[in-house]
Structure 1
Amino acid sequence: MTAKVGYGSVEKGTELPPQTFRVTRATLVRYAGASGDFNPIHWNEKFAREVGLPDVIAHGMFTMAEAIRVVTDWVGDPGAVVEYGVRFTRPVVVPNDDEGALIEVSGTVTEKLEDNLVRVGLVAVCDGKKVLGVSRAVVRLA
């Protein structure tokens, strides 16, 4: 698959289409099964509170993966992402209800680099608070 976004059509400041991702307890169970991460802070309310958390929290890697989807959906090719990193600033607390939590993600091209590469800055917010800090990716465009 090749990136669908052309380097020549992108400028610094280009905004990627924002997306919102719902996270429920069922989502966390499925992710735990896929990742093998069965830490009880991701499914056991009592345990999460005993270790000082407000409630069950989403896996950090899950949150990170949801955020990069804004980039991969925009570019059309997950293989176009050549670098990606984040700092975890706040956990995504997932209540035990049918609504769960919402992670809102937006992205902006912050720099055009050489060789058809761009740097994209991402902002991930849950309940009005940033959950990822210094979240950025380098992407190879067509």
Structure 2
Amino acid sequence: MNPPAVGDAVTPLTLHLSLQRLIMVSGANRDFAPTHIDHEAAREGGAPAAYADIMFVFTMVDRLLLEWAGPAALLRRIGPVKLHDFVLAGEDLTVTGTVTALTPAAADGRPGTDIDVEVAFTQDTRHPVTGHARVWTPRP
């Protein structure tokens, strides 16, 4: 990976958020809230369909950043993150990021990279999640 520069785009991550994926995530993180695995329960709670929990949102951001920065990178922080809308089952999502700042190197020589992140639906203009993250990228 070339050293990042302010304004660089992080390679986008696109995925389909199926109900099956949400059910598998619920089992993995032991969050069995009905709103995350059952469309009817989600509708009763005011959502249009079953929706992802915050752990899955963080996981999407984690995957985006570590696939971009590579296995030698270290994810230092995700957040703050704002949830503007439900991340709904049945939707295609795109997770993106933009480098916003470079910070001095850590004690081991790895520079810090601040990134604004966003989760957006590919079918329309809704952007249910925005946030910030910091990655220590490999030494140049």
* Shorter-chain TM-score tier: 0.7 to 0.9
> C-alpha displacement at 1:62, in angstroms?
0.7
**Which of 118, 122, 135 is the equivalent residue of 2:117?**
122
Partner in structure 2 of residue 77 of structure 1? 71
Q: Which has the higher contact order (CA 8 A, sep 6+)?
A: 1
TM-score after normalising by structure 2: 0.85
> C-alpha displacement at 1:26, in angstroms?
0.6
Partner in structure 2 of residue 97 of structure 1? none
1:29-48 matches, cutoff 5 A: 29-48=23-42
Partner in structure 1 of residue 108 of structure 2? none
TM-score after normalising by structure 1: 0.84
Number of residue pairs aligned between Structure 1 and Structure 2: 130
Work out whether 1:12 is the aligned partner of 2:6.
yes
> C-alpha displacement at 1:107, in angstroms?
1.0
1:92-111 matches, cutoff 5 A: 92-94=87-89, 100-111=90-101
Runs of 4+ in 1 over 6 A off after TM superposition: none
The separation in 2 between residues aligned to 1:29 and 1:123, in whole angstroms, is 23
Q: Which runs of 5+ in 2 are unaligned?
A: 106-110
The separation in 1 between residues aligned to 2:112 and 2:12, in whole angstroms, is 21
Look up the SS of the partner of 2:15 in the other structure: strand
> C-alpha displacement at 1:131, in angstroms?
1.3
Q: Is the 8 A contact 1:124 1:131 kept in 2?
A: yes
> C-alpha displacement at 1:140, in angstroms?
0.8
The residue type paired with residue 126 of structure 2 is K
Instruction: Note the aligned Cα RMSD (angstroms).
Output: 1.6
The residue type paired with residue 99 of structure 2 is V
The separation in 1 between residues aligned to 2:13 and 2:71, in whole angstroms, is 17
